């Protein structure tokens, strides 16, 4: 895909198709991609959408993640806040989550508070109330109706009791390889062939696009700052008279001085 469709326009269309949470929204973006490039549209149709599009995800996973490197994604979002103190870092995370939940208000959906469902499907996919559900809760509170505890509107997978129950079981230790019983299976499992790559293996992790952009911006700022410092500190020699270090007279230097031994 990266070889055939390199420009940022393709990337934006693909991400819009992948992040659409409803089928009508997904189909509308696919039509825009078809009008932009029919070849890219046909290539994308060959991939089943339930593997990569949020609009076709089931409610079982309680997650709308499109990538499998969760730690890298989380780390990239904390680039600006991870070097702050713990309270400021948590506040940075809270503000980021609020901005992510809010999003643009260019749509209208129906919310079922009893079933904890919204027609935008974000509540079902993530298990966290979407912006439409939050607006409904504010409307209920404004009408002096009982809202209850806010954590009851979040799926139980995010509760602390669920995490405690998940890690309540201990991992049983196993014996060393010399103590393993021999298998009676007649088939011998051979490891796959290993092709050693050319060159020294890389030890540093691959930086994300956001980190690469931030590094470039820092370099530009450092270069501009150094240029400004050089302009302010460096002095021009224009209109300055040269003084000889031998005879201490002006108009020539020591190399072109005609006075013998500086006398």
pLDDT tens digits for 185-230?
888 888 888 888 888 877 777 777 677 878 888 888 888 877 766 6
**Is the predicted pLDDT of residue 237 greater than 80, yes or no?**
no
- Residue in 191, 122, 178 with CA at minimum distance from that of residue 153: 122
> Of 80-84, 104-108, 114-118, where does the model show the most confidence?
114-118
Q: Which two tokens stand for residue 25?
A: 């929204």
pLDDT tens digits for 124-175?
888 888 888 888 888 888 888 888 888 889 999 889 999 899 888 888 888 8
CB-based contact 22:120 (threshold 8 Å): yes
**Is the predicted pLDDT of residue 22 greater than 70, yes or no?**
yes
78/75 Cα distance (integer angstroms):
5
CB-based contact 66:54 (threshold 8 Å): yes
CB-based contact 250:243 (threshold 8 Å): yes
Strands (E), the chain: 111-112, 117-118
């Amino acid at each position: 895909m990266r070889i055939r469709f390199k420009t940022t326009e393709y990337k934006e269309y693909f991400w819009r198709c992948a992040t659409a949470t409803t089928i009508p929204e997904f189909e509308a973006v696919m039509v825009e991609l078809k009008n932009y490039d029919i070849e890219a549209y046909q290539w994308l149709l060959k991939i089943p959408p339930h593997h990569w599009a949020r609009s076709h995800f089931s409610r079982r996973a309680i997650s709308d993640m499109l990538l499998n490197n969760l730690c890298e994604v989380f780390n990239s979002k904390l680039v600006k806040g991870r070097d702050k103190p713990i309270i400021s870092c948590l506040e940075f995370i809270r503000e980021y989550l609020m901005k992510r939940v809010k999003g643009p208000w260019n749509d209208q959906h129906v919310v079922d508070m009893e079933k904890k469902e919204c027609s935008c499907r974000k509540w079902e996919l993530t298990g966290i109330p979407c912006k439409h559900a939050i607006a409904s809760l504010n409307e209920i509170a404004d009408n002096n109706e009982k809202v209850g505890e806010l954590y009851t509107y979040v799926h139980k997978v995010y509760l602390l009791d669920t995490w405690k129950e998940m890690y309540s079981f201990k991992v049983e230790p196993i014996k060393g390889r010399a103590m393993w019983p021999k298998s009676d299976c007649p088939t011998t499992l051979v490891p796959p062939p290993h092709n050693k790559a050319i060159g020294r293996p890389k030890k540093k992790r691959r930086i994300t696009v956001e980190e690469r952009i931030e590094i470039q911006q820092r370099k530009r700022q450092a270069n501009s700052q150094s240029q400004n410092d050089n302009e302010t500190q460096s002095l021009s020699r224009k209109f300055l008279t040269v003084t000889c270090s031998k005879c201490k007279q002006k108009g020539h230097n020591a190399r072109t001085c005609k006075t013998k031994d500086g006398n």
